[in-house]
Amino acid sequence: MSANRYTYLGPEGTFTEAALRSMPEAATRELVPMVSVPAALDAVRTGAAAASLVPIENSVEGGVNATLDELAAGEPLMIYREVLLSISFALLVRPGTALTDVKTVTGHPVAQPQVRNWLAGNLPDAQWESAASNADGARLVQEGRYDAAFAGEFAAPRYALEPLVTDIHDAQNAMTRFVLVGRPARPAARTGADKTSVVIWLGDDHPGALLELLQEYAARGVNLMRIESRPTGEGIGRYCFSVDCEGHITDRRVGSALMGLKRICPKVRFLGSYPRAGVEPAEIAPLRHGTSDEAFTEAAEWLARCQDGRA
């Protein structure tokens, strides 16, 4: 395994690269762009890279399906960190291009909902075609295949392009969440401001099946931060659920919830417990009464006394 190599969704100039370079350790790693999310994660599975940074969620468009599906399938991987990046687009063109010259535009599919209104108001007749990434769209513009690309302004010099318009976004404060993924190992120690991710499969489709899953969290006072369904590929109506919750697997309430899920579900894949980006422990809301580690310990001691006739 190359312990010094990190892969990311490329080519050079993507928002993913910008997010990766925001991590302090990136300065001492070999950063290798890959053509797709599956390729970036497969490099970790094969040992060609120690870790990979990939997008998983956007505040406008929701989950990044390629990442969610890759984490649910194949050889298990684990999330070790998340990175949040503010997203604002620039319209990149070849030098000398005017806005009236733009007839075709490109960008990553996740970018389109974030610039749709701007596009309708400023380039209503332009034809949109998707690219593998925003930076790849910039490369295609450089090659003359499209007139303009929506990408990060920082990508312009890498592809000899100019930002014709900057700070484009339909939604204020748009963010994309990225995750650093490696091979399974012991999770990092809890910080007090953590997140735990899993993928859950239902055993069979019946009334209240999803409610049963949610109750495993609710009964223990575990707050869900995200839940998304994804098709399993096994037929219409067959879904698994990608879930993020507050807390760390070593928190008694979270560990107990995961054990409850394991009892009632045919398959649960643990994706990791890791620090929440941009959140300090002091900012976390107090736990509900009866959900602290101490409360679980006291309850277990009470049960032992009952079983021994000492209650």
Give the model confidence (pLDDT) of 130-166 as tens digits.
998 899 999 999 999 999 999 999 999 999 999 999 9
pLDDT of the chain, 311 residues: tens digit per residue: 577 999 999 899 999 999 999 999 999 999 999 999 999 999 999 999 999 999 999 988 889 999 999 999 999 999 999 999 999 999 999 999 999 999 999 998 888 888 999 999 999 999 999 998 899 999 999 999 999 999 999 999 999 999 999 999 888 888 999 999 999 999 989 999 999 999 999 877 788 888 999 999 999 999 999 999 999 888 787 889 999 999 999 999 999 999 999 999 999 999 999 999 999 999 999 999 999 999 999 999 999 999 999 87
Q: What pLDDT score does 205 carry?
A: 77
Q: How far apart are the C-alpha atoms of 13 and 15, rounded to whole Å?
A: 7
CATH homologous superfamily of 90-150: Periplasmic binding protein-like II (3.40.190.10)
Which CATH number applies to 1-87+169-185: 3.40.190.10, 3.30.1950.10, 1.10.645.10, 3.20.20.70?
A: 3.40.190.10
Q: What pLDDT score does 173 carry?
A: 84
CATH 3.30.70.260 assigned to 186-311: yes
Fold match, 1-87+169-185 / 90-150: yes
Q: What pLDDT score does 236 carry?
A: 80
DSSP class per residue in 244-259: EEES-TTSHHHHHHHH
Give how far Cα 174 sits from Cα of 57, 109, 111, 171, 301, Å.
11, 15, 11, 6, 48
Q: Which of 41, 154, 23 is nearest to 32 (CA)?
A: 41
Whether the CA torsion 86, 92, 98, 103 is positive or negative: it is negative
Q: How far apart are the C-alpha atoms of 177 and 161, rounded to whole Å?
A: 27
Q: What pLDDT score does 31 carry?
A: 96
Q: What pLDDT score does 75 carry?
A: 95
Phi and psi dihedrals of 151, rounded to 5? -155, 180
Q: Which of 250, 241, 239 is nearest to 272 (CA)?
A: 250
Phi and psi dihedrals of 299, rounded to 5? -65, -40
- What single letter denotes the amino acid at residue 218? A
Provide the residue ranges of all domains of the chain, joining segments of one domain with +. 1-87+169-185, 90-150, 186-311
Q: What pLDDT score does 54 carry?
A: 97
Q: Which of 60, 181, 176, 48 is nearest to 118 (CA)?
A: 60
Looking up tokens 């990225």 gives 178
Give the chain's length: 311
Q: How far apart are the C-alpha atoms of 145 and 143, rounded to whole Å?
A: 6
Q: Three-state DSSP class for 280? A: coil
Q: Taking phi first (over 0 means left), then psi (-120 to 50 degrees means alpha), and beta for anything else, what does residue 221 get? A: left
- Before 55, cis peptide (omega within 30)? no
DSSP class per residue in 154-205: GGTGGGT-EEEEEEE-SSTT-EEEEEEEES--PPPPP-SSEEEEEEEE-SS-
Residue 65: partners with Cβ closer than 8 Å, 6 or more residues away = 230
Q: How far apart are the C-alpha atoms of 36 and 67, rounded to whole Å?
A: 10
Please check whether residue 6 is in contact with residue 20, taking contact to mean a CB–CB distance below 8 angstroms: yes
